[in-house]
Amino acid sequence: MPTLVTSTMFVAKQRPVIAPAADGTFQLTLRLLDRLGSESRQVESWLVRWSGREAAAWWHRHSALVVAGQPVDVVLSRPRVFYTGRGDFRTAELHATAKRLALAPRRKAPPSSASLSQPPAALIAA
């Protein structure tokens, strides 16, 4: 039984790639970022491939919404680590096959501390 990964990741700046797989079926390749902790600036880069009719239908339905920063709920299969770069510049990149992708709602930014200390504009004008 293959290893499965279930997570919420974020679409990276790199554009998705649509190209036929080796057998000629539709294939979507996405670069996703997994934030390591809710407040962390550390991220893991994932290269995710999804092939077949379900992938094509999902892409045609959601392609306009797949932009940098968009959260995506994922179920991935067969994660593998690949190292890129040389010497001190080596970094790890994870590759996996998508079993399911679903757009997740974007979170609203929490109010800044400055806006919490300011009264609403309607109260100022009154």
Q: For the chain, what are the domain ranges?
A: 4-125
Whole-angstrom distance, CA of residue 12 vs CA of residue 125: 43
Superfamily for 4-125?
Answer: Nucleic acid-binding proteins (2.40.50.140)
Give tens-digit pLDDT for 39-90.
767 888 999 999 999 999 999 999 999 999 999 999 999 999 998 877 777 7
User: pLDDT confidence of 126, banded at 50, 70, 90?
Assistant: very low
Stretch 76-105: mean pLDDT, rounded? 89
pTM of the model: 0.78
When pLDDT is averaged across residues 78-107 and rounded to a whole number, the result is: 88
CA 31 to chain centre: 7
So what's the pLDDT on residue 55? Answer: 96
State the amino acid at position 108 in one-letter form: K
For residues 9 and 31, is the Cβ–Cβ distance under 8 A?
A: no
